[in-house]
Structure 1
Amino acid sequence: MRQLVEIQVKPAAIKDLTNGKPLLLKDAVEMPEVSIEEGSLLHLVDKNGGYIGTGYYGAQNKGIGWVLTRKEKEKIDKNFFAKKLKAAAQKRADFYESEDTTAFRVFNGEGDGIGGLTIDFFNGFYMVSWYSEGIYSFREDIYQALNEVVNTRGVYEKLRFDTNGQYVDQDDYVSGEKGEFPLIVLENGMNFAVDLNDGAMTGIFLDQRNVRKALRDKYAEDKTVLNTFSYTGAFSVAAALGGAAGTTSVDLAKRSLPKTIEQFAVNGIDYESQDIKVMNVFDYFSYAARHGLKFDVVVLDPPSFARTKKMTFSTAKDYPKLLKDALKITNEGGIIIASTNNASFNMKKFKTFIDKAFTEANKRYKILEEHQLPEDFTVPHNFPEFNYLKVVFIKVMD
């Protein structure tokens, strides 16, 4: 029997929750003396016992749980999840019908009404990501609902929680057909190789789909392109398919080399005609400056936080320095694609980092276009802070 706990919401937090904010922060509620099990249902009330909503308890870095419904009589069961999944799938009808894109997000957590849960589609296969033990406790109902709502070729899952804050490495197969990996998916006509059973990552970040398309279609032709923090080289593939004069992919992870070669290969691109470097991006900036290397387009898409033996890097603190380093090896009239998925600051703040870097480098710039999460990454209405992705195409003037 699932635990049901009555939780009093503090007055300062009531307005946001009644206006649709889905996230429960610890300091927004009066925590009871009793211990609460992960996955417990939370009956949220004001100080007079008036009903506000029903949520679940699931501790993750964002908070202690999520609001699921504001209808007091609504049951949180398989039918509830099926209704949410069906509505989400219907919103993505155009993606399901697309002939040139076969990888997209079907369910985007709080944006589709269930925080802590995302579901991605990869050419018939579904990958379910669980972000707390709390939401994972609903696993049986959610998988039954998923199989009722969509035709699944096969299902895989990622457990993105752990008592030590580390990814749970396991066999990620759940049900249906076992995939033969790499699985080839299409994105705006480009091929990408993915593996749904190879640790935390799949081989492609789906939220950058529109950015890759813009690079390919508008900025790559006859240009030299540097792709930093390149992961599996998806931006490099987009640039090469857009007619780039050459691409350079730089990432510290050793497996980035075979993975990038694979992405080029599945698109019929001779990887030997492209440059792939396994090294620290900041060391590469120094190397490029020493050798007089300059690029027409530079892609900056760093992790929010990274630590190496030599240094730590945080986008919230170090992005202006990263931009200044990139400016030293960007041609005049060149383009810097500055990106971050750090949810702790918004687009307005991100633009102050850009302005700071260019001012300190005594350079002028022009913002050509901006991107945030694509349309399949639904975010909660009225709460833009959940739109974590920020991408700015910047032209270097002089």
Structure 2
Amino acid sequence: MLLDSVRAALASRSQTLLPSLHAEGTDCYRLFHGATEGEPGCTLERFGDLLLWQTFRDPPDMDPQELLPRLRDLVEDETGVPLRAVHWNARQKRQRSREGVLVPPGAPLLAAEHVGSEIGLKYRIDVRPPGRDPNLYLDFRAARRWLAANSEGRDVLNAFAFTCGAGVAALAGGARHVTNLDFSQSALDVGRENARLNGLPAGAFECVCGDALPALRQLAGLPTNTDRRSRGGRGRGGGRGGDRRASGRGGGGASSLAPRLRQRAFDVVVLDPPTWTKTAAGAVDLVRDYQSLFKPCVLATRPGGTVLAVNHVASVELDEWVDSLERCAKKAGRPLEDVTVLPPEQDYPSPDGKHPLKMALARVAAGSAPL
């Protein structure tokens, strides 16, 4: 039944979606979205020459050494795409102690220099330890596409940057300067490598390693406190951590606090925080307190500029979240001109239109007071 479901998903994509992605230079996409295509808890994705099978629940009752080659053969037969290797990544916590399965073992093409392409841009792709995401979040493609088309001549802040995919897309799209902010130095190092792979100017691609809460507040000209918990408050900060998008996810050294930053204004601010994470400055909580991150982003955005806000908590209703953004901006004295919802692309089907990932282009009113 699993293979039948995957085959049906491949057939639907092979008609128009995959040809259009290939034509624009994209070889990283989701081939099977199990939650809506017949096998909840499983996904199948292509990253260049790598096929990635991920399980978020108990995996199907089949030996991975048998299942993975069959998945690879099925994808090659249905799509005509040649693949060098297929990897199983167990995401469920109690499975993470298991070694990931790579078929064939030790595939030479999947070393650190392995890359995938999206909209003609190159990104380094690693085979990560069990439980860890790859270096490129595919459901965020619609946002990177928008940035590539709408960043010319603009100053861009990419908060919770991870491996700087949004920053790369913005700079490739003609941004004047991109500032990438993340808690993980190793993730930013991959981001710099992504910029280098695409021949982008290093001088226009700034990477700041530090805690997001104090950093965003400094950029917005708001007072900061290095540890609000010491006063019994509920601080916010940190990276895409704990859940889907962990700021310290790359390891390799992270700054506990943000460096001193001057107040600045940006034309575009990308805000893609984690569901939940706690740092010395407090905790990020997208369910109960998205506003504590959105407010400084709005204040650091020039009149007429845009905050690309992201919330990937499935239980958060889109309309209620957008309404909270509008109320927060108005209360901060920077009302929004309009809000445009940016849905994920077609390789993430949703029959009811209620995608877990919510992306909103919040445009700050042109007449609002600048910094």
Counterpart of 2:176, as a letter, is A
Alignment correspondent of 2:10: 89
Residue 316 in structure 1 maps to residue 287 in structure 2: yes
User: How much has 1:231 moved relative to structure 2?
Assistant: 0.2
Measured at CA, do residues 320 and 134 of structure 1 come closer, stay the same or move farther in structure 2, by a change above 3 Å? Answer: same
Q: How far apart, in 2, do the equivalents of 1:138 and 1:349 lie?
A: 44
Measured at CA, do residues 173 and 110 of structure 1 come closer, stay the same or move farther in structure 2, by a change above 3 Å? Answer: same
* 1:25-44 deviation line (CA, Å, top 9, x unaligned): xxxxxxxxxxxxxxxxxxxx
* 1:287-335 deviation line (CA, Å, top 9, x unaligned): 3245231111100010111111331111111111211111221111111
Contact 2:28 2:45 in 1 (8 A): yes
Alignment correspondent of 2:31: 106
Residue 251 in structure 1 maps to residue 176 in structure 2: no
User: How much has 1:356 moved relative to structure 2?
Assistant: 2.0
The alignment partner of 2:104 has SS state of strand
The alignment partner of 2:185 has SS state of coil
Alignment correspondent of 2:359: 391
Structure 1: segments with no counterpart, 5+ residues: 1-79
User: How much has 1:139 moved relative to structure 2?
Assistant: 4.2
TM-score, with length taken from structure 2: 0.79
Alignment correspondent of 1:344: 315
User: How much has 1:170 moved relative to structure 2?
Assistant: 3.2
User: How much has 1:377 moved relative to structure 2?
Assistant: 1.1
Matches of residues 262-341 of structure 1 in structure 2 within 5 Å? 262-290=193-221, 291-341=262-312
Q: How far apart, in 2, do the equivalents of 1:188 and 1:135 lie?
A: 33
The alignment partner of 2:117 has SS state of strand
Contact 1:128 1:156 in 2 (8 A): yes
Contact 1:85 1:145 in 2 (8 A): no
Matches of residues 1-398 of structure 1 in structure 2 within 5 Å? 80-93=1-14, 94-97=16-19, 98-99=22-23, 100-135=25-60, 139=64, 142-143=67-68, 145-151=70-76, 152-163=83-94, 167-168=96-97, 170-175=99-104, 177-178=107-108, 179-198=110-129, 200-218=132-150, 220-290=151-221, 291-379=262-350, 381-382=351-352, 384-385=353-354, 387-397=355-365, 398=368
Counterpart of 2:6, as a letter, is L
Identity across aligned pairs (percent)? 22
* 1:47-87 deviation line (CA, Å, top 9, x unaligned): xxxxxxxxxxxxxxxxxxxxxxxxxxxxxxxxx22211111
Contact 1:373 1:388 in 2 (8 A): no
The alignment partner of 1:262 has SS state of helix
Contact 1:333 1:396 in 2 (8 A): yes
Contact 2:68 2:87 in 1 (8 A): no
Counterpart of 1:350, as a letter, is W
Q: Which moved more, 1:304-313 or 1:246-255?
A: 304-313
Contact 1:161 1:168 in 2 (8 A): no
Counterpart of 1:269, as a letter, is L
Output the aligned Cα RMSD: 2.1
The alignment partner of 1:306 has SS state of strand
Q: How far apart, in 1, do the equivalents of 2:160 and 2:144 lie?
A: 15
- Structure 1 or 2: more strand by fraction: 1
User: How much has 1:167 moved relative to structure 2?
Assistant: 4.3
Contact 1:249 1:275 in 2 (8 A): yes
Measured at CA, do residues 305 and 136 of structure 1 come closer, stay the same or move farther in structure 2, by a change above 3 Å? Answer: farther
* 1:76-124 deviation line (CA, Å, top 9, x unaligned): xxxx222111111112214543131100000111211101100100113
Contact 1:95 1:101 in 2 (8 A): no
The alignment partner of 1:121 has SS state of strand
Contact 1:195 1:202 in 2 (8 A): yes
Structure 2: segments with no counterpart, 5+ residues: 77-82, 222-261
Q: How far apart, in 2, do the equivalents of 1:366 and 1:196 lie?
A: 42
Q: Which moved more, 1:241-250 or 1:138-147?
A: 138-147
User: How much has 1:257 moved relative to structure 2?
Assistant: 2.4
Alignment correspondent of 1:21: none
TM-score, with length taken from structure 1: 0.74
User: How much has 1:134 moved relative to structure 2?
Assistant: 4.8
Contact 2:276 2:286 in 1 (8 A): yes
Contact 2:176 2:204 in 1 (8 A): no
Measured at CA, do residues 180 and 136 of structure 1 come closer, stay the same or move farther in structure 2, by a change above 3 Å? Answer: farther
